[in-house]
Chains A and B, each alone.
Chain A
Amino acid sequence: MKNVFLAGYSTSYFFYALTFITYLLRWRNTWRYLSIIALTVNLLVLLLIAILSGHFPFFNIFECFSFVTFILGGLALLCSQTEKYRLDARSWVWIEILFLLGIVLFFPKEPSFYRPNHTFLWVILFHGFRELALATVLFSAAHFIRFRMARRRKPLKNHILFKGRNFLLLSTVFFLCSEYSGMIWCQAGWGDFWHWSATFFQSTVIILCLMFAFHIPGKNHRSDDIRCVIGAGTALVMLTIQVTKGLS
């Protein structure tokens, strides 16, 4: 059974890589078809995990990054725009997907081990919203990176920055939903909604980073640049924390 997951993972990785290459070459319909195939394979892997393990695919690095790449791929296909400039926001999303799947290379490609709380509603919501937050923050980071790279074309730059800001706000909503679910989970399991522990501090650091990104003073180019760096940095913090949790 392990081979099925490995095959699914390799196939989706292969098709995402092909999508990225054909997208860079601007083969108009080819990259679109390839991305649809990649997303379909990705979805099949997720369904296979859910059916065979009996839980949602949110609980280890393989499961959660497969879920994040699926959401991210969907956003790239449906909510992004193509520019003449090769390394546009959409390209950065494909790069992020390949990077996530690259991280999975170092982790077991199999569903997570059974835990009694994997079927508890608030645990599912906690992890599910967290993965959604990661996917949307990475999508916004792609726009922030693109914004930092664009030197001219001010209206275009502002449009990209605004899109990044929108998805960062959306990510904040998802992350807070995850935190609220986590509070209920913690209250039911430990009798309190807060714990003095590294995991709770990590979540607080993410919330503070999100707050920081929205509280940069000023309305000039320099402030926009800092906003982009902090926004993209928040995505990196979230990703690092996710990987660290996967290692423990």
Chain B
Amino acid sequence: MKKISEQLASMYVTTIILVVLIAWFTWGILLAQSNPFGHGFDVMNSTLAPEWFSRTQGLSLLLKFWFVGLCVAMAVLAINLVFCSWVKILKIIRIKLIKNKLVMLIIHMVFGAVALGHFGSFFFGYRYENVTLQQGQSFAFKDGYALNIRDVHFVDNHHVLAKPPKELNPDQYYYNANFSEVVLSQNGDQLTSGRIYYLKPLIYKNIQVTLKRFTPPKGINGGNRALLKPGVKLVVSKNPVKPLVFTLFPVMIIGIGVYTIMTWRRPENKNATRQTRRSKIFDD
């Protein structure tokens, strides 16, 4: 038993798993850039993990295998992290409290929590991608929520909507001036309302309404002026683990920063230092 736990806590296992993960993600890059599998990743982006394995989504067997393989590798890394951390905790308690080792232990624990939060975000909450609505239209979703488009305010020429964003000049498209007014309600009661801009979503608790882009107007011959207005393509999402990940990630960065500062100077080895001074290093 002791031997197994020693092996699970070993750095050799860590390096092997890291190599496997590098290879796995490199394979993922190749898959994402190929046409047939690229679409599969789009499906993964627009839905949560349980749906990837349902028959309706039609995710290819290879992508399912890729994702399951990734989960297995991450699970082994997590086991390795737990065992390795436990061994370090025991060392710190029994032998000596070394500050930088304690910081490194905290960094590893926070990394584990961030990775777990990341994994959880594939399963919890919901996500509705490419919700295309016109002014006055509504979109009903989980738990009795409904989203209504009160107004679409688009000041630029509608022709720019047919152009790719790369070809637009600053004087052709004023992204700060174009917005949509949305109302979020639950069971008929208004919860919140506000404007959504490009890169400025509406957030209510964990629910986020994101403006992806404006869509060209549907009919230009109709008498209704509202129809002349562009529509909007939205993403409605709820991710309950988002606050956890967004809080712990900077903690991890700060931890590595603190560790870097703490260990910037090399531990003094009198013998080596003297030799270093005598060696050929010189600053002209």
Q: B282: which of A83, A173, A176, A180 is its contact (CB, 8 Å)? A: A83
Say yes or no: A193 contacts B15, CB within 8 Å.
no
Say if the beta carbon of B53 comes within 8 Å of chain A.
no
- Write out, one digit per residue, whether chain B residues 248-279 have a CB within 8 A of any chain A CB (1) or not (0): 01101100110110011010000011011001
CB distance from B87 to the nearest CB of A (A): 14
CB distance from A93 to the nearest CB of B (A): 15
Q: B281: which of A83, A183, A190 is its contact (CB, 8 Å)? A: A83
Say if the beta carbon of B138 comes within 8 Å of chain A.
no
Q: Kindly report which residue of chain B lies nearest to residue A32, judged by CB atoms.
A: B284
Query: Using Cβ atoms and an 8 Å threshold, which residues of chain A touch B98?
Result: none
Query: Using Cβ atoms and an 8 Å threshold, which residues of chain A touch B19?
Result: 212
The count of A-to-B residue pairs whose CB atoms sit within 8 angstroms is: 154
Query: Using Cβ atoms and an 8 Å threshold, which residues of chain A touch B253?
Result: 173, 176-177, 180
Q: Kindly report which residue of chain A lies nearest to residue B235, judged by CB atoms.
A: A191
Say yes or no: A113 contacts B199, CB within 8 Å.
no
A215 CA to B16 CA in the complex, in Å?
A: 10
Query: Using Cβ atoms and an 8 Å threshold, which residues of chain B touch A28?
Result: 284
Query: Using Cβ atoms and an 8 Å threshold, which residues of chain A touch B242?
Result: 187, 193
CB distance from B96 to the nearest CB of A (A): 18
Say yes or no: A198 contacts B33, CB within 8 Å.
yes
Say yes or no: B11 contacts A215, CB within 8 Å.
yes
Say yes or no: A116 contacts B279, CB within 8 Å.
no
Say yes or no: A156 contacts B279, CB within 8 Å.
yes
Say if the beta carbon of A216 comes within 8 Å of chain B.
yes
Say yes or no: B266 contacts A159, CB within 8 Å.
yes
CB distance from B51 to the nearest CB of A (A): 13
Query: Using Cβ atoms and an 8 Å threshold, which residues of chain A touch B275?
Result: 154-155
Query: Using Cβ atoms and an 8 Å threshold, which residues of chain B touch A120?
Result: 199
Say if the beta carbon of A188 comes within 8 Å of chain B.
yes
Say yes or no: A189 contacts B168, CB within 8 Å.
no
Say yes or no: A155 contacts B279, CB within 8 Å.
yes
Say if the beta carbon of B283 comes within 8 Å of chain A.
yes
Say if the beta carbon of A47 comes within 8 Å of chain B.
no
A189-B199, A192-B237 given. 15 additional CB < 8 A pairs? A54-B170, A83-B280, A114-B170, A155-B276, A162-B266, A170-B260, A173-B260, A185-B199, A192-B45, A198-B32, A205-B25, A205-B26, A212-B18, A217-B10, A217-B15
Return 20 A-B CB contacts under 8 Å, by A number.
Answer: A83-B280, A84-B280, A115-B165, A120-B199, A155-B272, A155-B273, A169-B259, A173-B253, A180-B249, A187-B208, A189-B199, A191-B129, A192-B235, A204-B25, A205-B22, A205-B25, A205-B29, A208-B25, A215-B15, A217-B11
